[in-house]
Amino acid sequence: MRWGCGAIKILIVNGGPHKGNTWLLTEEAKRFLTDIDGDIIFSEVHLSDIGLPFCTGCSSCFRRGHWTCPHSEKVQPVMDMIEDSDGVIFSVPCFQGHLPGILKNFTDHMAFMLHRPRYFTKKALVITTTGGVSARSTTKAMAAVLSGWGFNKCYQLPIMALSWNDYRPSAKDLKRTHDIAGKFYADISSGKLHVPGAGVLIPFNLFQAMTAAETDYPTEDNSFWPKYAGMRYAPGIPLTPGKKLLGWLIYQAGRRLLKSTTVTYRK
Ligand SMILES: Cc1cc2nc3c(=O)[nH]c(=O)nc-3n(C[C@H](O)[C@H](O)[C@H](O)COP(=O)(O)O)c2cc1C
């Protein structure tokens, strides 16, 4: 249980370029959560306000550490806000069946986390509205990003708004919003940590194995993984015996791959 840890902290990330249909539904989720627990401490970040330039693809985050990103002073404060939260609500309008460019650009800056995940205890709720189609593929795309970052659980609310800028949530949509926000809250307040899926065990064990030996060009990955030596997933996160075995098998496969493949990050 999450006893004695103080008020729950929830960060809301607006991944769209304005406060539109998706933000309206996000505020409804926030209102509902406030009704359940008036002590929740909310914070907000609107990615369209932080002035984050496009990722230049320099790959310095992968090779030398994310703090060497030329845009680190824009990215790090948001990373700190996520770190400081118990749960994060991502407000994600569906643009072309996918994440809006502003959010995609932010996730590009966080892509190094596929090599070096964190946020193992965090829970997320992704809220998407769409005109007609692809709400589910949008929430799924964001959920996949979040599992790469290490998030422990991601709830998804894909909603067909049938509107450009004048969405009035139906009683059914409101009920779905309240139900999923309630589950998100119950999960956070329980303190329960979930067994990770196989898709999460693959990068964790593969990158750990691939960086266990000397490479011609040591990278930040080589400094990151030793603290997890012998662990098939992050400490404190439960693993079933089957998942432990799977993690070990992936690790062994990574060691074999290392022998037969030359990985270089030299530029
Ligand atoms: C650039 C852009 C792309 C869009 N792409 C889609 C789409 O692929 N499928 C769809 O059904 N609706 C699409 N829409 C409609 C929006 O998904 C819909 O109006 C949504 O509720 C907008 O949320 P927002 O008001 O929070 O931005 C698009 C709208 C815009 C502005």
Atom of ligand 1 nearest to the CA of 93: 23
Instruction: Summarize pLDDT for 192-237 with one digit per residue, the tens.
Output: 999 999 999 999 999 999 887 766 777 899 999 999 999 999 999 9
C-alpha–C-alpha distance, residues 89 and 207, integer Å: 28
The count of domains in the chain is 2
Q: Print the domain residue range for 121.
A: 9-190
Does residue 266 fall inside a structural domain? Answer: no
pLDDT at 4: 54
When pLDDT is averaged across residues 114-125 and rounded to a whole number, the result is 97
Read off the CATH number of the domain in which 120 is found: 3.40.50.360
| CB 23 less than 6 A from any atom of ligand 1 | yes
Does residue 4 fall inside a structural domain? Answer: no
Does residue 3 fall inside a structural domain? Answer: no
C-alpha–C-alpha distance, residues 51 and 33, integer Å: 30
Please say which residue of 136, 168, 190 terminates a domain: 190
Compute φ and ψ for 178, nearest 5 degrees.
-65, -40
* Size of the chain in residues: 267
Residue 151 confidence (pLDDT) above 50: yes
DSSP state of 89: E
Does residue 265 fall inside a structural domain? Answer: no
* pLDDT > 90 fraction of the chain, expressed in percent and rounded: 87
* Among 219, 188, 230, 235, residue whose Cα is nearest residue 41: 188
CB atoms within 10 A of CB 148: 18
* Among 108, 77, 85, residue whose Cα is nearest residue 7: 85
Please say which residue of 171, 190, 209 terminates a domain: 190
Please say which residue of 190, 215, 240 terminates a domain: 190
Measured in angstroms, how far is the CA atom of residue 248 from the centroid of ligand 1?
A: 43
Q: Mean pLDDT across the chain, nearest whole number? A: 94
| Residues linked to residue 130 through DSSP beta bridges, in sequence order | 160
Amino acid at 249: L
Residue 260 confidence (pLDDT) above 90: no
pLDDT at 267: 67
